[in-house]
């Protein structure tokens, strides 16, 4: 859009839209956060108590005192998402380099093939992955969930990384090759440093997607000790009804990492998402 | 050159190995399971059943309901997400007051886990202590508290609302790249010709954005057709089976009723629906004069 001096009316309208968007986007998290800060009795009150009075951290304290398994779920998510991100950047980084910079037959077809398999519904993987990991004795282990997530998000990561590699000028590489540098040497000392922003953006996106993933984590890590945060919290058993005072506090703790990452690295994440999408 | 070739292929091995093991072989086995009888692994036992599983499925009203639910859910949510997505993308593409906050607002629904998003909304939809009833009753718009996820068809409408909230911003992010690729001088020329903002949108932005829109529609449609954690965590597929999607029904066939073969057949049907719709989009995209 061309930037021009806008009238006061236009600017007010824009402000209104901005405010509306921000409120619309934040209110579910904010409402849950407010709920988590209320005394338990006020959570189940009608008319609804809108503002915590007094503010209390009692619900959070209860998690640490009585429901430590919820902390375990969050730790599991950390382990799974971190390992998945590492594996994907390692395997995806070299694969995307090979697919965009090295010359051999079938490259383009492979890129399309990788895009096609990324469209498989995750649900369709579940029977085989469940049965396979069960037979391997790996059900309810970190490696099973991590491998599952790595397979699920590797295609997307390769596409995002490829879009970053394509922006690095080919001449740099050709000059190094004439100087006698090997392919791996070129990758390590030229491509890798130049593609750091791409690797960071891809890593952030993969971390968030793995943190949030539900069906695979549900099936491959169903034992109480192996549940990730989304699985463990949503399956949290209530004695009589869903214990919202505990659930609200646990959910806030579980979404805190992705909210902070989104706030701090918003431009990198948006850049990575749009780069990957525009190339497909 | 030959050395490059060999190294290039070597670098692909780890990624391709994981993709084949986790994505390709499992999907192939799902297809084989769908034409087998009484087995959870075709390597272990394969008793060919022909199309018996499919015949049984299509004779099951609950399966047909799941197909209908999935299609209705997709047909309502995807167009709404597109409209909101375009508005948000146009907004994001301007120099705005509080740009940092707007960007976070647009990123947040995407970045939150769907399963926990469903929990947040379940709490706001709560029929006894929920925020929505409190606000609506407080402002005198309703007299009786509404059970947002406990009735037919309101539970489906509630589920659609959450989906539109959650994914409109992702559509906006997809469209943003397309918007930024439109050269500014096109707009300036139109402005010289006296076109107002509204007609500039219809005659320039929308046509030039069409390839990006088609890609966004394709990705969102495929995603909506495989909706799982939203019904799983918001409505549990209920009341009755009024919000049970194909993914949820297939999951239950396998892990609740322990019928891998029937479940696999349901997954193959779902996959076929996704493929047909994806192909329609891709053909349209290929024919698009702006693509």
pLDDT digits (tens, 9 = 90+) for B156-182: 999 999 999 999 988 998 898 888 888
Name which of A104, A117, A234 is nearest B19 (Cβ-Cβ).
Answer: A117
| B262–chain A nearest CA distance, Å | 11
Range with lowest mean pLDDT among A90-104, A217-231, B10-24, B179-193: B179-193
What is the C-alpha to C-alpha distance for residues A156 and B23, in angstroms, rounded to an integer?
13
Q: Domain of B36?
A: 27-59
Please check whether residues B55 and B124 belong to one and the same domain. Answer: no
Q: Mean pLDDT in chain A?
A: 89
Please check whether residues B33 and B162 belong to one and the same domain. Answer: no
Please check whether residues B104 and B33 belong to one and the same domain. Answer: no
- Answer whether residue B188 is part of any domain: yes
Q: Would you state the pLDDT for residue A277?
A: 65
Please check whether residues B48 and B179 belong to one and the same domain. Answer: no
Of B226, B269, B254, B17, residue with least CA distance to A128: B254
Range with lowest mean pLDDT among A8-17, A179-188, A231-240, A245-254: A231-240
What is the C-alpha to C-alpha distance for residues B264 and A128, in angstroms, rounded to an integer?
10
CB under 8 Å to A278, separation ≥6 — which residues? A163, B177, B178, B181, B212
What is the C-alpha to C-alpha distance for residues A28 and A25, in angstroms, rounded to an integer?
7
Please check whether residues B123 and B45 belong to one and the same domain. Answer: no
Query: What is the rounded average pLDDT of the residues B12-18?
Result: 95
Please check whether residues B51 and B185 belong to one and the same domain. Answer: no
Query: What is the rounded average pLDDT of the residues A55-69?
Result: 90
Please state the domain extents for chain A. Answer: 69-279
- Answer whether residue B212 is part of any domain: yes
| A140–chain B nearest CA distance, Å | 15
Residue A31 pLDDT > 90: yes
CB under 8 Å to B99, separation ≥6 — which residues? none
Report the share of chain B in percent with pLDDT over 70: 98
Name which of B30, B103, B226 is nearest A266 (Cβ-Cβ).
Answer: B103
Q: Would you state the pLDDT for residue B290?
A: 63
Residue A279 pLDDT > 70: no
Name which of B23, B118, B268 is nearest A117 (Cβ-Cβ).
Answer: B23
What is the C-alpha to C-alpha distance for residues B97 and B113, in angstroms, rounded to an integer?
28
pTM of the model: 0.93
Any idea which fold A69-279 has? MetI-like fold (1.10.3720)
Q: Would you state the pLDDT for residue A240?
A: 57
- Answer whether residue B167 is part of any domain: yes
Q: Mean pLDDT in chain B?
A: 90
Residue A251 pLDDT > 70: yes
Please check whether residues B40 and B72 belong to one and the same domain. Answer: no
Angle subtended by helix axes B154-180 and A266-279, to nearest 10: 80
* pLDDT, greater one: A178 or A2: A178
* pLDDT, greater one: B8 or B13: B13
Please check whether residues B108 and B41 belong to one and the same domain. Answer: no
CATH, residue B155: 1.10.3720.10
Please check whether residues B45 and B160 belong to one and the same domain. Answer: no
- Answer whether residue B13 is part of any domain: no
Cα diameter, chain B:
77
What is the C-alpha to C-alpha distance for residues B170 and A266, in angstroms, rounded to an integer?
13
Reported confidence tier of residue B267, pLDDT bands at 50, 70, 90: very high
Which residues of chain A from 13 to 32 reach within 8 Å of chain B, CB to CB?
A: 14-15, 17-18, 21-22, 24-26, 28-29, 31-32
Residue A1 pLDDT > 50: no
Which residues of chain A from 175 to 214 reach within 8 Å of chain B, CB to CB?
A: 182-184, 208, 211-212, 214
- Answer whether residue B82 is part of any domain: yes
Residue A196 pLDDT > 80: yes
Please check whether residues B42 and B166 belong to one and the same domain. Answer: no
- Ramachandran angles phi, psi of A106, nearest 5°: 85, 5
* pLDDT, greater one: A211 or A243: A211
Tens-digit pLDDT profile for residues A88-121? 999 999 999 999 888 888 888 999 899 888 888 8
Helix H or strand E segment including B177: helix B154-180
| A76–chain B nearest CA distance, Å | 15
Q: Would you state the pLDDT for residue A2?
A: 47
- Answer whether residue B81 is part of any domain: yes
Please check whether residues B33 and B79 belong to one and the same domain. Answer: no
| A245–chain B nearest CA distance, Å | 11
Tell which phi-psi region holds residue B118, choosing left (phi > 0), alpha (psi between -120 and 50) or beta.
alpha
Domain count, chain B: 2
- Residues of chain B found within 8 Å of residue A126, distances taken between Cβ atoms: 251, 254-255
Domain closes at, from B38, B59, B80: B59
- Residues of chain A found within 8 Å of residue B98, distances taken between Cβ atoms: 18, 22
Query: For an interface test with B, which of A227, A256, A277, A280 has the most B Cβ atoms less than 10 Å from its Cβ?
Result: A277
Please check whether residues B155 and B253 belong to one and the same domain. Answer: yes
Tens-digit pLDDT profile for residues B215-254? 899 999 999 999 999 999 999 998 999 999 999 999 999 9
Q: Would you state the pLDDT for residue A4?
A: 53
Tens-digit pLDDT profile for residues B133-143? 989 988 888 88
- Answer whether residue B11 is part of any domain: no
Reported confidence tier of residue A238, pLDDT bands at 50, 70, 90: low
CB under 8 Å to B81, separation ≥6 — which residues? B163, B164, B167, B168, B171, B220
Tens-digit pLDDT profile for residues A138-180? 999 999 999 999 999 999 999 999 989 988 888 888 888 888 8
């Amino acid at each position: 859009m061309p930037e021009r001096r806008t009238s006061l009316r236009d600017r007010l309208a824009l402000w209104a839209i901005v405010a509306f968007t921000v409120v619309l986007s934040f209110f579910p998290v904010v409402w849950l956060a407010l709920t988590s800060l209320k005394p338990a009795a006020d959570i189940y009150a009608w008319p609804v108590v809108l503002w915590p009075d007094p503010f209390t951290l009692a619900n959070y304290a209860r998690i640490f005192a009585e429901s430590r398994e919820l902390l375990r779920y969050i730790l599991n998510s950390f382990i799974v998402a971190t390992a998945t991100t590492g594996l994907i950047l390692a395997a995806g980084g070299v694969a995307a380099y090979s697919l965009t910079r090295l010359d051999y037959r079938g490259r383009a077809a492979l890129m399309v093939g990788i895009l096609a398999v990324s469209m498989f519904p995750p649900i369709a993987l579940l029977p085989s992955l469940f049965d396979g990991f069960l037979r391997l004795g790996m059900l309810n282990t970190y490696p099973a969930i991590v491998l599952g997530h790595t397979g699920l998000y590797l295609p997307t990561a390769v596409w995002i990384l490829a879009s970053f590699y394509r922006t690095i000028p080919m001449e740099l590489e050709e000059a190094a090759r004439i100087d006698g540098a090997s392919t791996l040497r070129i990758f390590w000392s030229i491509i890798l440093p130049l593609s750091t922003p791409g690797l960071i953006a891809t890593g952030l996106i993969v971390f968030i997607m793995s943190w949030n993933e539900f069906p695979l984590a549900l099936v491959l890590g169903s034992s109480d000790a192996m549940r990730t945060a989304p699985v463990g919290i949503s399956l949290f058993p209530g004695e009589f009804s869903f214990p919202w005072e505990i659930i609200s506090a646990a959910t806030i703790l579980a979404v805190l990492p992705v909210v902070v990452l989104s706030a701090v690295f918003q431009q990198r994440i948006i850049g990575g998402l749009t780069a990957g999408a525009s190339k497909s | 050159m030959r050395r490059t070739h060999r190294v290039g292929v070597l670098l692909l091995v780890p990624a391709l190995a994981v993709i084949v093991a986790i994505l390709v072989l499992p999907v192939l086995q799902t297809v084989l399971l769908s034409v087998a009888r009484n087995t959870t692994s075709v390597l272990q036992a394969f008793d060919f059943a022909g199309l018996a599983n499919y015949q049984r499925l299509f004779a099951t009203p609950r399966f047909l309901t799941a197909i209908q639910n999935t299609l209705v859910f997709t047909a309502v949510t995807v167009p709404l997400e597109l409209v909101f997505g375009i508005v948000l993308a146009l907004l994001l593409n301007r120099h705005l007051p509080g740009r940092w906050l707007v960007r976070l607002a647009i990123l947040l629904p995407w970045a939150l886990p769907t399963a926990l998003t469903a929990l947040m909304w379940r709490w706001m939809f709560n029929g006894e202590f929920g925020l929505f009833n409190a606000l609506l009753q407080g402002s005198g718009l309703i007299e009786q508290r509404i059970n947002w996820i406990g009735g037919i068809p309101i539970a489906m409408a509630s589920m659609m609302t959450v989906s539109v909230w959650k994914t409109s911003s992702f559509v906006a992010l997809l469209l943003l790249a397309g918007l930024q690729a439109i050269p500014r001088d096109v707009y300036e020329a139109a402005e010289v010709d006296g076109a107002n903002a509204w007609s500039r949108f219809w005659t320039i932005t929308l046509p030039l954005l069409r390839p990006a829109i088609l890609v966004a529609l394709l990705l969102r449609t495929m995603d909506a057709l495989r909706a799982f954690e939203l019904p799983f965590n918001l409505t549990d597929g209920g009341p009755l089976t009024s919000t049970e999607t194909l993914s949820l029904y297939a999951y239950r066939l396998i892990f609740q009723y322990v019928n891998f073969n029937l479940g696999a057949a349901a997954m193959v049907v779902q996959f076929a629906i996704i493929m047909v719709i994806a192909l329609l989009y891709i053909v349209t995209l290929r024919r698009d004069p702006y693509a």
